Structures are given as C-alpha cells and as structure tokens.
Amino acid sequence: MKRFIGFIKKEFYHIFRDKRSLFILFGMPVAQILLFGFAITNEINNVDIAIFDKSNDATTQEIIHKISASKYFSIKQHITNEAEIETVFQKGKVLAVLVFEKDFKKNLTKENSAKVHIITDATDPNTANSITNYISAIIGSYKMEINKNVNLEYQIETKSRMVYNPELKSVFMFVPGVMTIILMLVSAMMTSISITREKELGTMEILLVSPLKPFQVIVGKVIPYIFLSIINAIVIVLLSIFIFKMPIQGSLFLLALESVLFIITSLSLGILISTVSATQQTAMMISLMGLMLPTILLSGFIFPISSMPLPLQIISNIIPAKWFIIILKGIMLKGVGLAFIWKETLILAGMTLFFIALSIKKYKIRLE
C-alpha cells in the first residue's frame, strides 16, 4: 500500500509540474464553457434595427414601442424612403429593417389584415432567422392583445412553445456537451499520454522491473485523473449555475454519480489507448481522432442524432458520450431521476467494464 501511495504522489508531482498539462486540465474547461456560453450562441441581444413606418399611426407606434421595449432589439434609426433601406444595410448599421405598409391601422381594422415587412441582413443566416422569429413573436403577441380587445372570432394564430429551455438559451444545450467533451479529454487523453510518456522516457522499463504490480501502475496513474476530472466537473457545473444562471433541475447527487461513471469510462478508454500506442504523439493522435472527433460529431452534441443518416445513427450507439449527454440533459434540464435514465447508465457501465477488461488483457508486463 505504501508503494502504491508513493506512486500516486509521484503522479501528482508530474501533473503539477507540467505547466502545459495543467493548463489543459484547468484552463480548457473554463475557456470552453465561456466560449460556448458567450461567443458561440444562437441568441440575439440588443440587435440594431431600423424602422420604415409608412403610415405612422397609433398601431404602428404601439408595435414599435413594444419592439424597442424588448431587450432583444434597439431601434437605431427611422428612415423615410425605400432607397434608404439599402444604404443602412450597406453601411452595416443595422441587421434588420421593419417596414410598415401605408394605412396600417386602417387596413387592420377595416380589412382585418395589415402587412409588416421584415427585411434582414442574411449574411449571418442564423442570426437573421432568429431576428425574424423574435420580431414575428413580438408582433404576434401584440396581435393577440388587440384581438382580445376587439373580440374578433376565429383568429388563426401559430403557436410554438419551447419546453425545457423556454428562453431558448443555447448555453443550456451546450453545457452537457462541453462537460462531456472535457471529461473525455482530461480523462482519456491525459491518462493515455501520461502512461505512454513513461514508455517513451524508458522509465516504464524500470517500473516493469520493479515489484510494483501492473495493476498498481495503472490504477496509480488513473487515480489522480479521477480526482482532477471530478474537480473539473464541479467547476463546469458551478460556472453554468452562477455565470449562466442555469438551473439544475435534477438531483446533484445523481449527477455526481453519473459523472464519476463517465470519468471511469473515459479513463478506461485512455488506458486502452496507451496499451496500443508507443509514443505520446500516437496516444494524442488516437485520442483526438478516435475519441474527440466522434464525441463532438456523433454524440448529438452539435448535430442532432435524429437528423443523421441511418448508418451514422447506428454508429452513434457505440459512442459513450452519446449516452452520457442523454443522461446529463435528463438530469440537468428535465430533472429526471434514475428511473428514466437507468438504461443509458447501464449501457455506459457495460462499456466501461468492457474497456477495462480489454485493457487488462492488452497490458504488457514485458516490453513486447
């Protein structure tokens, strides 16, 4: 046991003295969460728009007021002729122009229908799309209000309700994905690199010729990373709660247990990688190409699995990250308990056992 503790102590020295791996360990999670949370987002906020109000009556004034009162838009300028629309876009001053037709109020009350034209700068199609949706929503809610007042019957309206993320906060969707990727990266890549480093430096030769048992070497390598991954998971959850005000709906205890399970899955993958690669370079390439890419592309983190072609949907089943993301979304966003995610948990546990068994079988007690 003393031997084992001595070994773990040495591993911690390695980690804390290597500035680069320390940076990957702790800088990466924070950077990724902040990036996905703030920069890479589908939300719109304070978008500059222009108004071209041809009728300028009480109704249009009210709509304009509603739009400018929302935090999504700020009205940058009012324009007075068609030609100006193009100019404001070209100058890049605004991302959308709202055009109200002539006699807006009259048309609405007399003919029951009035037109408003939303022109958006579609150089960024996602934002343009969001702007259109947001403005339509604001106008739609105004329409409901006036309908209530005049008590008109059979008004047709489209209605969409967003569940689980009613504010359409994209960061909520990213947190489970980012957490998965980071735990995978830290656990699998760092362990595989740290084991292959011993091979590369030749110290593995001495460790093999010592009375230290192979399983002690492996477990000793893994324990520090379990510890660090747990800290990482906690940092990510805290960041999401306190910076992005993300509510964790489900049990924190269950979340912690599932995270530990996934950490162990990733570590066993890391060990497996280290048994097949001779150098740190190879270990890193296998981790990146073999683990990170499928995790990002096939786990449902960025592209929804249901919209993938069938063969990819089938392949996605063997990606551990897919199951963990389902579990995370379940616990974090929907607040479900183990009763709803036991199947995914079982799959993940099975995969872990399989990887551990395989690595033990492949681990060499000699050099060949």
Partner 1 sequence: MSISLQHISKSFKTVNAVNDVSFEVKEGELFGLIGPDGAGKTTIFRILTTLLFADKGTVTVAGFDVVDDYKEIRNHVGYMPGKFSLYQDLTVEENLDFFATIFGTTIEENYELIKDIYVQIEPFKNRRAGALSGGMKQKLALSCALIHKPKVLFLDEPTTGVDPVSRKEFWEMLKRLQQKGITILVSTPYMDEAELCDRIALIQHGKILQIDTPQEIIKHYPKKIFDVKADNMYRLLESLKSYEHHYSVYPFGEFVHYTDKREDFNPQELQQYLEAKNHQNIKIEITKTTIEDTFMELAK
In the list 42, 80, 141, 203, the residue contacting partner 1 (rule: CB under 8 A) is 203
The reply on whether position 245 binds partner 1 by CB under 8 A is no
Of 121 and 198, CB closest to partner 1: 198
The reply on whether position 24 binds partner 1 by CB under 8 A is no
- Binding track, positions 157-196, relative to partner 1; x by CB under 8 A: ----------------------------------------
Of 19 and 361, CB closest to partner 1: 19
Stretch that binds partner 1, among 2-10, 82-90, 152-160, 263-271 (CB under 8 A): 2-10
Only one residue has tokens 């030769």, namely: 205
Coil/strand/helix, residue 50: strand
The reply on whether position 202 binds partner 1 by CB under 8 A is yes
Of 201 and 318, CB closest to partner 1: 201
What is the total residue count of the chain? 368
In the complex, the smallest distance separating the C-beta of residue 277 from partner 1, rounded to whole angstroms, is 19
Of 5 and 346, CB closest to partner 1: 5
Residue 350 and residue 201 in contact, taking contact as beta carbons nearer than 8 Å = no
Stretch that binds partner 1, among 12-20, 51-59, 109-117, 320-328 (CB under 8 A): 12-20
In the complex, the smallest distance separating the C-beta of residue 13 from partner 1, rounded to whole angstroms, is 6
Strand order of the β-sheet with 96-100 is 73-78, 47-53, 96-100, 116-120
Tell me the C-alpha distance between 349 and 68, whole Å.
Answer: 52
Strand duo 96-100 + 116-120: pairing: antiparallel
The reply on whether position 208 binds partner 1 by CB under 8 A is yes
DSSP β-bridge partners for residue 77: 50
The reply on whether position 14 binds partner 1 by CB under 8 A is yes
Stretch that binds partner 1, among 1-9, 52-60, 67-75, 228-236 (CB under 8 A): 1-9
In the list 28, 139, 168, 212, the residue contacting partner 1 (rule: CB under 8 A) is 212
The reply on whether position 20 binds partner 1 by CB under 8 A is no
Residue 86 and residue 73 in contact, taking contact as beta carbons nearer than 8 Å = no
Residue 86 and residue 135 in contact, taking contact as beta carbons nearer than 8 Å = no
Stretch that binds partner 1, among 23-31, 86-94, 115-123, 207-215 (CB under 8 A): 207-215
Give the tokens for residue 9.
Answer: 């102590």
How many residues contact partner 1, by CB under 8 A? 26
- In degrees and rounded to multiples of 5, residue 211 shows phi and psi of -75, 0
The reply on whether position 18 binds partner 1 by CB under 8 A is yes
By CB under 8 A, the residues from 38 to 77 that bind partner 1 are: none
Cβ atoms < 10 Å from Cβ of 250:
21
In the complex, the smallest distance separating the C-beta of residue 297 from partner 1, rounded to whole angstroms, is 35
In the complex, the smallest distance separating the C-beta of residue 134 from partner 1, rounded to whole angstroms, is 54
Residue 100 and residue 116 in contact, taking contact as beta carbons nearer than 8 Å = yes
Tell me the C-alpha distance between 83 and 66, whole Å.
Answer: 26
User: To which H or E segment does residue 90 belong?
Assistant: helix 82-90
Tell me the C-alpha distance between 84 and 90, whole Å.
Answer: 10
Of 163 and 209, CB closest to partner 1: 209
Coil/strand/helix, residue 65: helix
Of 8 and 30, CB closest to partner 1: 8
In the list 112, 117, 205, 318, the residue contacting partner 1 (rule: CB under 8 A) is 205
* Helices 320-329 & 338-362 angle (0-180, nearest 10): 150
Tell me the C-alpha distance between 96 and 265, whole Å.
Answer: 48
The reply on whether position 7 binds partner 1 by CB under 8 A is yes
Compute the C-alpha angle 245/72/97, nearest 5°: 160
Coil/strand/helix, residue 74: strand
Question: What residues make contact with partner 1 under the rule CB under 8 A?
Answer: 2-3, 5-7, 9-10, 13-14, 17-18, 201-203, 205-212, 365-368
